[in-house]
Amino acid sequence: MNTLKIYSANIVTPEKVIYNGTVVIKDDKITEVLDGLPEQLQPEDINAKGSWVLPGLVDSHSDAIEMELEPRPSSTFPIEVSFYELEKKLVGEGITTIYHSLSLLEENAKKFVRQNKTVLSVIEDINRLSQGAYLIRHKTHLRYEITNLSAVNEVKELIKKQKIDQLSFMDHTPGQGQFRDIEIHKKLLIDHRRFSEEEAMEIIEHSRKQVKLEEHVVKELADLAHEHRIPIASHDDDTLEKLEVVKEWNATISEFPIELQIAKKAKEMGLFIVMGAPNALLGKSHSNNLSAMEALEHKLVDILCSDYYPSSLLHAAFKLHSQGTPIYEAIKMVSLNPAKALYIDHEVGSIEVGKKADLLIVSEEQSRPVLQTVLVNGNVVCQMNYQMPLTVGGRV
């Protein structure tokens, strides 16, 4: 066995911090978590120098692959470029397990990356590419818009063939859910999606008229996913009635509840509650819905996901810690809790004996996390060596 030790580390476990401790890795797994320094050291062992040692981050919902594939409406990059370039960015944010969120919107969606043909192809490609050389662990999260009537059979096949690792049902019909406020919806389409006001209103009116899948069809898909042990999430829960339907799906995750009372009810029902790390970091929702910080104050958040901004995940956890949340509780929201919700906590999500050695070494600069080293399967896959500015001719 190949053995590696990380010592002089402040190790963040699920329940406490082990100060000046040691993590022992043999091959790809954690074999010991020790108080104090090891009796013997080898040249290849890593001196953490008092930095935090954290579990690798598990991101349950990231739209980043869409932006990497189509950064501009007229610019579409090959998946072989997008997949590997995005992976380098994600590992540099401390994300070691990513759930690529792909929106199966409709056959002729204006965004190329949300058209049926594109999404189905990208899912196949991610499954294929993740079997080759990789830096981090790749999973797929299919976000199925329930106004997409033409893709039911394709989704059934993805479930049966275990091509997806998470399934969520979405309804972005204007006037409810995320887009209860039509003006905010219009502003998003204009400012972010770069549509004209006339085009934005045309999209909104078209969306209002769309027919939705019948309830028994959605339930059939949910039952099939449950049968194949694929975690099911709801999206933008906005009424108590919707939560009752969600439970009928055997869903275990409520993503981005719209109001505080809905989050409270979801918690009472035993659902994992997911909020956006960007929301927590900025202190507000970009859609003017429930603030993650308000939900956190009421202890209603189990999981933070990066949503549309991968950099936010580690920063949000450290923001919570700086405001008084024990670091092990903050880190669980971006590691162990999502791993539990997604049925992978037997392998990843925490620093415990027997789990994969997906680890981060992180120092702090005025409460800002500074990622230094990333290990996946016990191998160093990313190393940041920061330097002080050089002076040339008396100038920095």
Which stretches within the chain are classed as H helix? 64-69, 79-91, 116-129, 152-160, 182-191, 197-208, 215-227, 240-248, 260-268, 277-282, 292-297, 312-322, 327-332, 336-341
Which string of DSSP letters, residue by residue, matches 317-330? Answer: HHHHHHTT--HHHH
Amino acid sitting at position 241: E
Answer yes or no: is pLDDT of 177 > 60: no
Q: Which pLDDT score is estimated for 196?
A: 76
Distances (CA, A) of 283 to 47, 78, 183, 293: 36, 35, 21, 6
Q: Give the pairing type, strands 232-235 and 57-62.
A: unpaired
Answer yes or no: is pLDDT of 102 > 80: yes
Answer yes or no: is pLDDT of 174 > 60: no
Segment 168-189 mean pLDDT? 66
8 A C-beta contact, residue 90 and residue 64? yes
pLDDT category of residue 184 using cuts at 50, 70 and 90: low
Q: What is the pLDDT of residues 248-278, one digit of tens each?
A: 999 999 999 999 999 999 999 999 999 999 9
What does pTM read for this prediction? 0.91
Among 62-66, 138-142, 172-176, 371-375, the minimum mean pLDDT is found in 172-176
Distances (CA, A) of 110 to 107, 169, 358: 9, 20, 38
Cα(175)–Cα(182) distance, integer angstroms? 6
Q: What is the mean pLDDT of the chain?
A: 91
Segment 366-370 mean pLDDT? 93
Q: What is the pLDDT of residues 221-245, one digit of tens each?
A: 999 999 999 999 999 998 899 999 9
pLDDT category of residue 285 using cuts at 50, 70 and 90: confident
Segment 185-208 mean pLDDT? 68
pLDDT category of residue 182 using cuts at 50, 70 and 90: low
Four-point Cα dihedral 83, 87, 90, 92, nearest 10: -150
Q: 213: Cβ–Cβ under 8 A, 6 or more apart, which residues? A: 146, 147, 148, 149, 152
Segment 347-351 mean pLDDT? 98
Q: Give the pairing type, strands 272-276 and 253-255.
A: parallel
Cα(260)–Cα(266) distance, integer angstroms? 10
* Helix (DSSP H) and strand (DSSP E) numbers for the chain: 14, 16
Q: Strand, coil or helix: what is 187?
A: helix
Q: What is the CA radius of gyration of the chain?
A: 22
pLDDT category of residue 37 using cuts at 50, 70 and 90: very high
pLDDT category of residue 209 using cuts at 50, 70 and 90: low
Residue with tokens 């409810």: 176
Domains of the chain from N-terminus onward: 3-54+352-383 (2.30.40.10), 57-171+212-341 (3.20.20.140)
